[in-house]
Structure 1
């Protein structure tokens, strides 16, 4: 079931979201025991992005309550998405919309980690990259182009030639010395990336596409996939088994979840 402020959502409620595509969201993986890794960080993201997108405050107590309601009766791991949008938003006057509401949807989660991913490099820069917004056309178009070319997803690089992030994930690398490297670029501050930075030694540095292809290993992170090895970037193949990759995966799974 999909709910808006705790009530079944109607087509009329969703029409403004479909037609204007203005809003922001977070997706959280809920483990079988009902806990969520990085729950506090997800709530912080929603509050921060709500102020940016709607210039409004967000009550995370209400958010948690609606998420608990959405998860009632669910069994097994799942992914809950919380989308914040204002059904009154109009294309001609978006500034008039300042009463965002809380849309909650739930889907089953896949196994962790998923199969390694082959990525194709695509020059693309997301609008307002620091916000997890619903404007996904460019990212999904790049993903589709990569899939038509025989890859699983797109890895973005900017006009400056620097690698940034993936379609809906943060990119990370392991250099030849075994150090985790996160690209220094305009990217979404991912929750999974933030959790790993708290627990694993790393460095943040600019990474050109050529430098990325010279790394010892590469991986993708987000709440749905955890730590997913990249098996290739364009024609460059990467090992999908590496001691540091295993450490990252084990570390992520060892991080205790938080209760709603």
Structure 2
């Protein structure tokens, strides 16, 4: 049994099948943490894949078939892994010509991941993602901007759009706390599956939430901030650019409690 699995449409992927994908930049994916063979927010991952496939290929793989491919990959490894499901078209020239093509499904697993525990300092970088509602591949910025940020003494990068609004971070969503309510930045961004899990569970817990445009100038009035992705429902942020954010342990505890309230599901 191995942690590293790569399967195409439910079968072990060959080098010949993977070679064209290695040089292609037209695909989308979702990434999840699997624990004991189960995933929190599985429905959100399936919804993400379905929406993005219709947007990029004009057709989507049925959810049940996607789940079957996920199960097959998980059966080949341990119960705790990181899993990535990628949708791509082997001949994307047909897609470019306007044809509706059902994509192939590449499922990969690797060792389970965990988030950093220390509060992060984020560089403020002016950047807007292309097709932000889709988690697509080939984004140089999500590696380049953190690399540049680290060289400047930060841990990662947060994105600021042309209107000065904070949107998201390199591979994270942002969330803030005003002392009473969770504040989600209003801007064009990728809505993360962890973000979706946390939001619906906060609703069930009766915690106030609101959508608000957040600029660097707004940060001093807030009581804390975090980043979140499939690794964690909340990693504290201590600074964005030159603006310090207060630590908010109660906010972090609330986000983690909301995440734990989400029942895990087997594919």
TM, length-normalised to structure 1: 0.91
Residue 256 (structure 1) shift? 1.2
Residue 10 (structure 1) shift? 2.7
Change (3 A) 1:84 1:59: same
Mean alpha-carbon deviation: is it higher for 120-129 or for 1-10? 1-10
Distance, in Å, in 1 between the alignment partners of 2:184 and 2:71 is 33
1:168 to 171, 178, 197: 171
Q: Is 2:232 aligned against 1:218?
A: no
RMSD: 2.1
* Helix, strand or coil at the partner of 1:118: strand
Q: Which residue of 1 aligns with 2:122?
A: 119
Q: Which residue of 2 aligns with 1:78?
A: 81
Residue 241 (structure 1) shift? 4.2
Mean alpha-carbon deviation: is it higher for 214-223 or for 227-236? 227-236
Residue 3 (structure 1) shift? 0.9
For each residue in 1:39-77, what CA deviation from the matched residue of structure 2 results, as whole angstroms up to 9, or x when unmatched?
A: 011111111110001001211111111111111243353
Residue 107 (structure 1) shift? 1.6
Residue 186 (structure 1) shift? 0.5
Distance, in Å, in 2 between the alignment partners of 1:204 and 1:15 is 43
Distance, in Å, in 1 between the alignment partners of 2:75 and 2:154 is 37
Residue 204 (structure 1) shift? 0.4
* Helix, strand or coil at the partner of 2:23: helix
Change (3 A) 1:55 1:76: same
Distance, in Å, in 2 between the alignment partners of 1:129 and 1:111 is 25
Residue 20 (structure 1) shift? 2.7
Q: Which residue of 1 aligns with 2:205?
A: none
Q: Which runs of 4+ in 1 moved over 4 A?
A: 91-94
Distance, in Å, in 2 between the alignment partners of 1:94 and 1:137 is 25
Native 8 Å contact 2:87 2:104 kept in 1: yes
Q: How many residues align?
A: 258
Q: Which residue of 1 aligns with 2:212?
A: 205
Q: Is 2:68 aligned against 1:65?
A: yes
Mean alpha-carbon deviation: is it higher for 70-79 or for 241-250? 70-79
Change (3 A) 1:102 1:40: same
Q: Which runs of 5+ in 2 are unaligned?
A: 203-207
Q: Is 2:136 aligned against 1:133?
A: yes
For each residue in 1:56-102, what CA deviation from the matched residue of structure 2 results, as whole angstroms up to 9, or x when unmatched?
A: 12111111111111112433532211000011124994645723100
Distance, in Å, in 2 between the alignment partners of 1:210 and 1:122 is 15
Residue 135 (structure 1) shift? 2.8
Q: Is 2:57 aligned against 1:54?
A: yes
Distance, in Å, in 2 between the alignment partners of 1:213 and 1:9 is 51
Q: Which residue of 2 aligns with 1:27?
A: 31
Q: Is 2:160 aligned against 1:157?
A: yes
Native 8 Å contact 1:122 1:142 kept in 2: yes
Change (3 A) 1:6 1:167: same
